[in-house]
């Protein structure tokens, strides 16, 4: 689902990192647009309508969190944040601000490309007019219209809450969702302090849908941050 001509907007003020991204992305068939400041990045995002945005947090004119917040005011284009901040609360804050994913510096080209492919695929699934798609990754298939879940040819029965949690992960597949985001979408805003609900029901999904619940393939934990339904299998 990833077009080799997909356009990537890089909002990054450090020239060495931009050079690394330029080499990695153009060498893999992507069209690259570069901005060295937050304001320039916002202008280019509006003008070029890229397929994915790579955003550095430490920009000279405004914080990357503010840029993500402004972008989310008018576009659902996937945002991957580059950060040197390793604290879990920083990662949670940027995801709550609207970012889809993050990479902690330093990072490798292979990891970056995998995250971009997943982000663009997620963006394509989220396009308006797509209806209720049948989502599939590996042997897992979820028919959102029929509310059916399959592993291979076998249908798997889920409880209403298990299905709602799975459907939420499917709608945001490839994106890291914080516990808070999942609690609000699945249980409601009054449950934002009930983090154990997410942990318990995620274990239920893993026991029903993973070959080895202790080594999950589909439902990946981002330690201290949240969970991701993988798209890169």
State pLDDT tens for residues 153-196: 999 999 999 999 999 999 888 888 999 999 999 999 999 889 89
Sheet holding 226-229, edge to edge: 176-178, 226-229, 219-222
Q: Are strands 52-56 and 79-83 parallel, antiparallel or unpaired?
A: parallel
Given a cut of 50, the residues of the chain with pLDDT beneath it are 1-3, 128-129
The per-residue pLDDT for 108 is 92
Q: Does a cis peptide bond (omega within 30 degrees of 0) precede residue 185?
A: no
Q: Residue 74 in contact with residue 48, Cβ under 8 Å?
A: no
The per-residue pLDDT for 1 is 42
DSSP helix, strand, coil percent of the chain (3-state; round to 5): 40, 20, 35
Half-sphere exposure of 52 (CA within 13 A, CB side): 30
Please give the mean pLDDT across all residues of the chain: 89
The per-residue pLDDT for 203 is 97
The DSSP result for 160-207, as a single string, is: HHHHHHHHHHHHTTTSEEEHHHHIIIII-GGGTT-HHHHHHHHHHHHH
The per-residue pLDDT for 129 is 46
The per-residue pLDDT for 89 is 82
Q: What does the pLDDT look like over 104-128, one tens digit per residue? A: 888 899 999 988 988 888 777 655 4
The per-residue pLDDT for 132 is 57
3-state class (DSSP) for residue 52: strand
The per-residue pLDDT for 4 is 53
Instruction: Pick the closest to residue 112 from 101, 96, 99 (CA basis).
Output: 101
The total of other beta-carbon atoms located within 10 Å of residue 228's CB is 21
CA 152 from chain centre, in angstroms, equals 25
């Amino acid at each position: 689902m990833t077009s080799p001509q997909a356009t990537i907007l890089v909002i990054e003020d450090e020239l060495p990192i931009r050079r690394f991204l330029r080499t990695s992305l153009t060498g893999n068939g992507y069209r690259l647009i570069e901005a060295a400041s937050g304001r320039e990045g916002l202008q280019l995002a509006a003008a070029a309508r890229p397929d994915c945005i790579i955003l550095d947090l430490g920009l000279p004119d405004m914080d990357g969190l503010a840029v993500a917040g402004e972008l989310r005011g008018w576009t659902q284009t996937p945002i991957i944040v580059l950060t040197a901040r390793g604290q879990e609360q920083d990662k949670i804050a940027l995801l709550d601000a609207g970012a889809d994913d993050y990479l902690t510096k330093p990072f490798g080209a292979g990891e970056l490309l995998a995250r971009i492919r997943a982000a663009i695929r997620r963006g394509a699934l989220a396009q308006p007019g797509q209806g209720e798609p049948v989502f599939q990754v590996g042997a897992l298939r979820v028919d959102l219209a029929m509310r059916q879940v399959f592993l291979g040819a076998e249908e798997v029965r889920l409880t209403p809450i298990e299905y709602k949690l799975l459907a939420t992960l499917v709608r945001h597949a490839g994106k890291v969702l914080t516990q808070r985001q999942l609690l609000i979408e699945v249980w409601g805003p009054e449950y934002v302090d009930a983090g154990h609900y997410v942990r318990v029901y995620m274990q239920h999904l893993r026991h029903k849908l993973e070959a080895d619940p202790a080594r999950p393939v589909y439902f990946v934990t981002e330690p201290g941050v949240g969970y991701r339904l993988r798209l890169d299998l």
